[in-house]
Structure 1
Amino acid sequence: MRITDTGTGTDRDTGTDTEAAVREIFRDAGVRGWLHARPVGGDGPRSAGREVCVGADVPVVMASVYKVVVLVAFCRAVDAGELDPRQPVTVRPGRRTPGSTGISALADPVTMSWRDLVTSMITVSDNAAADAVLERLGLDSVDAVLRDLGLTATRIRGGDAEVQRTMLADTGTDDVAAAFSVLADNDVPVAFRELSPAFGSATTPRDMTRLLTRLWQGEAASRGQSDFARRLLTAQLWPHRLRSGFPDAAVVAGKTGTIGAVRNEIGVVSYPGEHPVAVAVFTHAARTDVTVPRADAAIGAAARQAVNALRAPALDE
């Protein structure tokens, strides 16, 4: 692994042991993995322009990581006065995207505010909430975020409903539960387009740490809306990926993404008295089982290696 000073174009080798450890983590877990990490803020010599790259510019499948872009688009719409976050909206069963969390899992009509829908979208990765918010905002608003923040390698083709429509077509099934059963069967080969970054929503690890960095520095939305977005990412409930790699002293804010053999998480890790570090880890497992604990744990372990290489005191200037 190399830490690159993007200001001078020179590299500092952190030791082959670190690089070997990261790649061994991915190998042991039976996954292909891609990672990028960079400090958030700090212009001193120990933090400026440094990054950790393991396939940082390789196109990868986003899965539910796309919801962070939708979150930023929502914040910008609130800032522009185009959307009242307190306005109540009713999401009815017949129009809800299936899923196992949030209002996706409920049977009756649900009424809540736009900001509460966004909260459910991020904290429990609620598919129905995400699609309701995306429909309200429109893909043009999401594309504007990508364009304005310089996320040139990222493409979002639709929300979870679009993914599920493709999944039903590719698996030849009539409902989402049956489609996921087919995808989880290692003995049934399926050419699922959403598992290829060439067809579905795609990004790169570098683009996602850029997104997080701009959000943490208050450059993606107003201060108030940036604070709101960071609070939601910190409140995400899943502890089995990024969170698993760090001690209690670290605050981990993140968003997972899962579809078939794809398991991802992007986030920001903050230690007291230090510059936060943005990290993005994307994986594709050799097996398609619904639960692959070793692949989940590999995300936290790989992130820990990268973050530890970039940790620096906040007063390093």
Structure 2
Amino acid sequence: MLEDLKGRAGLAIEIDNDCFYFNYEEVFPSASVIKVPILMEALRQAESGSININESVQIRHRVGGSGVLQALSDQVVVTVKDLMTLMITVSDNTATNMMIDLLGMDAINTSIESMGMQKTVLQRKMMDFAAIERGINNLTSPADIITSLKVLDQGDFLTEESRKLALEIMHAQQFHDKLSAMIDPEAIFVAGKTGSLPQVENDCAVFKWGNKTAYVAVLMDQLEDSYSGRQVISKVGKYIYDSLIA
């Protein structure tokens, strides 16, 4: 299925001791899946006291694309935790850029490296297409995304409380047209983050059913047809769902 795709694809799946990899160390544009390590760095800084996630902030530097903050009035005040939640659940680009300003791009990249993500880098803010045209993009690999999901779910990079909050936020994901499109959301726990750019379709998720856990990352670029890419990702999600509940 992946080989027949009109585009380039990379996939990594780990279910307990079973693994499936396809171009999993190749580098792809990250699109919005880069927001997962941003969320993790935000929680790390909250633990250290560098930021207060209950602090109120005003919306600034609105950008387009996905999200709701760009459409709200100047009178609206949100918390840092709200920014984190909007960044993941509706992939809000304004919220993401505000989080990058708050956390610092260097700090985010330092934590990305410390988590063992070897080919992932945050080099630009969201919706900065001028940077992309100059060859400056946010990059990652399926292997790195799997690493981040495992660290988020079971590592010691964050406390148990922070890991639980991260999974809850990702479980509230509002986009269900890829990995979770063909599964029963009431039957299985899914915490994920999607991402899209022109010719790019990405998704990653933690699936939990009973005592089984699956970590999944699918990255695609150079797509002739983004809809076909999303369909393939949906089928991957269904295969994993069927495997877990079998």
Alignment TM-score > 0.5, same fold: yes
Paired position in structure 2 for 1:52? 20
Please give the per-residue CA displacement for 1:170-227, whole angstroms capped at 9, x wherever unaligned.
4xxxxxxxxxxxxxxxxxxxxx84xxxxx41111101101110111114231111111
Please give the per-residue CA displacement for 1:227-258, whole angstroms capped at 9, x wherever unaligned.
11110110000111010142342222110111
Q: Secondary structure at the match of 2:25?
A: coil
Match of 1:123 among 89, 92, 104: 89
Percent same amino acid at aligned positions?
Answer: 25
The 3 A distance-change label for structure 1 pair 31 and 106 is farther
Q: Secondary structure at the match of 1:276?
A: strand
Structure 2 unpaired stretches of 5+: none
Amino acid at match of 1:254: G
- C-alpha RMSD of the superposition: 2.2
The 3 A distance-change label for structure 1 pair 135 and 280 is same
> 1:312: Cα distance to partner?
8.9
The 3 A distance-change label for structure 1 pair 100 and 149 is closer
Superposed counterparts of 1:116-265, under 5 Å? 116-161=82-127, 163-166=128-131, 170=133, 193=135, 199-248=136-185, 249-265=187-203
Q: Verify: 1:37 aligned to 2:13, yes or no.
A: yes
Q: Secondary structure at the match of 1:23?
A: coil
Larger radius of gyration: 1
> 1:87: Cα distance to partner?
0.5
Counting matched residue pairs gives 245
Paired position in structure 2 for 1:88? 56
- The answer to whether the 8 Å contact 1:281/1:303 transfers is no
Q: Verify: 1:104 aligned to 2:42, yes or no.
A: no
Paired position in structure 2 for 1:298? 232
Q: Secondary structure at the match of 2:224?
A: coil
Quick one: distance in 2 between partners of 1:68 and 1:76?
12
Q: Verify: 1:283 aligned to 2:217, yes or no.
A: no
- The answer to whether the 8 Å contact 2:189/2:208 transfers is yes
Q: What TM-score, normalized to structure 1?
A: 0.71
Paired position in structure 2 for 1:23? 2
Structure 1 unpaired stretches of 5+: 1-21, 40-46, 171-191, 194-198
Q: Secondary structure at the match of 1:158?
A: coil
- The answer to whether the 8 Å contact 2:2/2:232 transfers is no
